[in-house]
Amino acid sequence: MKVKNIVVEVKSIEDTLKEVKEVMGKIKEGKLVKKKESISFNNIDIMRKVLTNKRLELIKVIKKHKPKSIYKLAKIVKRDSKSVHFDVKLLNKLGMIDLKTTEKGRENLAPRVDYEEIDVAIPI
């Protein structure tokens, strides 16, 4: 990942398609297109359902404690390891955390956060 900030934005499908069309036009013209690192949601309700307080807490704890496994992360936050595992996998699919494979006897997935802040953009 190795980015300073992650941008989370609320953007309609129409706006997303418009942006894709603009990028494709620039590519056809042979212009360079700057890579954009962001996570978009169709509306604020979906964003709130995905980025819950418990999931945001996991991100903070991972950044601060650098747990060696998802199980150890669950112990730190005092939550059921199955629930934490589900949340970690979801955050990983979104690109908000990385999972590093470690092997000491048995294979573990160590969650990592490589950015400093989450910037939220909500159009008004």
Q: Token pair for residue 72?
A: 């150890």
Q: How far is CA 66 from CA 12, 28, 50, 58, 62, in A?
A: 35, 43, 22, 11, 5
The pTM assigned to this predicted structure is: 0.81
Q: Token pair for residue 10?
A: 């609320």
Do 119 and 6 meet the contact criterion of CB atoms below 8 Å apart? yes
pLDDT tens digit sequence for 87-124: 999 999 999 999 998 877 667 899 999 999 999 998 88
Q: How is domain 5-121 classified at the CATH fold level?
A: Arc Repressor Mutant, subunit A (1.10.10)
Where are the chain's structural domains? 5-121
Q: Write down the mean pLDDT value for the chain.
A: 90
Q: Closest by alpha carbon to 116, among 92, 96, 94?
A: 96
CA–CA separation, 83 and 67 (whole Å): 16
pLDDT of 8 > 80? The answer is yes
What amino acid is encoded at 22 in this protein? E
Which of these ranges, 3-7, 29-33, 38-42, 77-81, has the smallest mean pLDDT? 3-7
